[in-house]
Structure 1
């Protein structure tokens, strides 16, 4: 795995769990699958601390375990992808808020904070949070319905469990049980809320967040946004409907979908009647999307005519090409990007041809070509021509692009940028720690005074505890933090797109 990724994971673990868990997690990242005694020996922590750290990491699905050869000792393996996903939690919460509302957002937030929980406990906790609001009118029954909706939509899944009593249990769950909703007794939740004796009917059934389901939505959003920006909202809506109908016939992560009848989409649009222009020019929009360079949809055979297949792998390959071309343009210049596009178009090309076809002076074309080669955006292949008699053998040099290698290199650059952003944010927070802590204390005092019914003059006096120069520093820090957070989100978008390409590759 990448060293840059390791630095990012180290920061994430240290920020969220502290230095001891970070050391345990990074040992597993560096040395791979290991038993507990190896971890204790290397980290030099007490056995109890290592056990506690592994328990926390396993709870949050950041570490998995499997039995050793003798089945009495567990081997532990870190899940680097799940550690990185912790940066994406705000996106998951925001996605659910837009799609299902505030109550569902709270359910997802509570589960992400604890990693897994029973349905009854989640409903009770969210109800307690909502009860603090004066305007709350949501009942326990409605919260139960919200939870069931999230399970039905597959955003929540059951946690695996052990069927056998072994020293190192093998956690499994059947596919039919993943989204099987247990009996949730509202009366028992009411008893728990009012302090009466209770016995939850689902006390041994735990639920966790299904990251794959969120990633499906994020993947679809990338595709819809790409077509909306390239054409208009009507094209984006057509692609969105195609993707929705794809799920009825095809596995979500299939490279190519089963045929989707275009008349089905047309009838659906007529019923919705929300995009009149798309209804009027439906056939033209279908033709434009079909002929687009992303090659997202194609007709499924000559005879069927009215059915289209969705080529997700092809689409994300084109997106990856666009990202790499943009990186070349930003890192070098437009001439280097022209050379990169030319090599992409020709697949294999000689240096002399680059100079002629790119319309760049020979000396500059040679310099840029070898600069791209040095930075690993281009690869070179040498072909030798067999000699005739005693004559000298000839060789040809061909430039080509290995897209997967370039994508992995850009991913590494993204991890490096992410590490720099997080380090800078921690630095800003550290050097302004005194003023930030003072602001938090003042806000806490003001909140307490406001709750006690303090006058405006009293609250103004408390606010004046922060001097004008300190306010300027706080505004500057807040502005910097917002910029860094925005860049982090944008970098994560790029990482996700490139990871989608590698997933399909």
Structure 2
């Protein structure tokens, strides 16, 4: 666990849950698995406050507990904490695929962590019953809820206290959510600039087939026959040239490991260009070519400065991809932490203006609910 990751984790917990949960979460991140007594001593909080904070972390699947003999220890899950910053993108993905009703359902569920289906739908219907713009209908909410459950975005919560026959929907496991969100990244990265829509659509079809027949994070998917892809492509009437890209091979497979490695190399090359310039990026690219075994005349071994051309001493350089990726990830942690700090400072600086804006919006919304016209509300 790095120092930059700890700072980012602390800032995320502070934004979403406040100071107390931040103290407990950062303490667990720093010292690892600890019982309640040790957490109370190291944080300076009361036992009741620590219990409430741990309850919040466990409720949102940000911590786990383990019984070791008589004592029960608690441990933070940093990967799940990092996923909190993906909530906006997740909601946008849901809205674009299933509409605004699905966005309301998932947003309410994200805030509650878990809820019964009846309670969830009734709460949303009551909250927006006077909103004429959204026009919420309990029947539409139920149909949308069933669609989300069928697609795997909502599932029954594995809680021990659940009574037989009751259903408590909660978010699906992380391993199912993340590939669906990252599919857009693969589509954009693998699409050619000349025909972005066609190649991107083919990649989308391959990923959909991959999720049906292979593991979400498989290094290479099960080969998909071109006839299956062609059947899906025929339904896309707005892609007349799509079929031309499918006649080159009999079967297609998604090589996830190779795609992830290629994306990582491109990110690192872009990072080196931004920080050190194009010459350094070209050196890094040459070393990557050497590592892959594709030696070219443009990427000659480097000689020591001042050495004669006829000398035999050649100094070879290589790129440790894992270490460079770790460094790039640390830089991302630091950048995210700084952005969140700046955002919090800006929000605190303009707190009065933001509060006034919220009150004005509330007044306008109330006038519209009472039937006031656009002229009166403006």
Q: TM-score under structure 1 normalisation?
A: 0.66
Provide the aligned C-alpha RMSD in A. 3.3
Counting only pairs closer than 5 Å after superposition, residues 240-251 of structure 1 correspond to structure 2 as 240-251=204-215
Does the Cα contact within 8 Å between 2:198 and 2:239 map onto a contact in 1?
A: yes
Does the Cα contact within 8 Å between 2:189 and 2:263 map onto a contact in 1?
A: no
**2:276 match:** 332
Counting only pairs closer than 5 Å after superposition, residues 98-497 of structure 1 correspond to structure 2 as 98-134=96-132, 139-162=137-160, 204-210=166-172, 211-232=174-195, 233-279=197-243, 281-283=244-246, 287=248, 306-347=250-291, 357=299, 363=305, 397-444=315-362
**Whole-angstrom CA distance in 1 between matches of 2:20 and 2:125:** 35
Moved more, 242-251 or 38-47: 242-251
Does the Cα contact within 8 Å between 2:301 and 2:315 map onto a contact in 1?
A: no
**1:186 match:** none
Please report how far the alpha carbon of residue 82 of structure 1 lies from its aligned counterpart in structure 2 after TM superposition. 1.3
Does the Cα contact within 8 Å between 1:329 and 1:337 map onto a contact in 2?
A: yes
For the residue of structure 2 that corresponds to 1:343, the secondary structure is helix
Write the deviation string for residues 233-281 of structure 1: whole angstroms up to 9, x where unpaired: 11111121122222332222211111111122123323443311122x2
Unpaired runs of at least 5, structure 2: 307-311
Does the Cα contact within 8 Å between 1:335 and 1:360 map onto a contact in 2?
A: no
Does the Cα contact within 8 Å between 2:302 and 2:316 map onto a contact in 1?
A: no
**Whole-angstrom CA distance in 2 between matches of 1:445 and 1:141:** 30
Please report how far the alpha carbon of residue 340 of structure 1 lies from its aligned counterpart in structure 2 after TM superposition. 0.9
Q: Does 1:61 align with 2:50?
A: no
Q: Taking structure 1 as reference, are residues 334 and 116 closer, same or farther at Cα in structure 2, changes over 3 Å only?
A: same
**Whole-angstrom CA distance in 1 between matches of 2:329 and 2:8:** 12
Does the Cα contact within 8 Å between 1:156 and 1:209 map onto a contact in 2?
A: yes
**1:38 match:** 38
Please report how far the alpha carbon of residue 456 of structure 1 lies from its aligned counterpart in structure 2 after TM superposition. 9.5
Does the Cα contact within 8 Å between 1:103 and 1:126 map onto a contact in 2?
A: no
**1:92 match:** 90
- Aligned positions, number: 371
Tell which structure's C-alpha radius of gyration is larger. 1
Q: Taking structure 1 as reference, are residues 3 and 323 closer, same or farther at Cα in structure 2, changes over 3 Å only?
A: same
Q: Does 1:83 align with 2:81?
A: yes
Unpaired runs of at least 5, structure 1: 164-172, 174-199, 288-304, 365-393, 461-505
Write the deviation string for residues 180-210 of structure 1: whole angstroms up to 9, x where unpaired: xxxxxxxxxxxxxxxxxxxx995x5322112
Q: Taking structure 1 as reference, are residues 63 and 235 closer, same or farther at Cα in structure 2, changes over 3 Å only?
A: same
Please report how far the alpha carbon of residue 410 of structure 1 lies from its aligned counterpart in structure 2 after TM superposition. 0.5
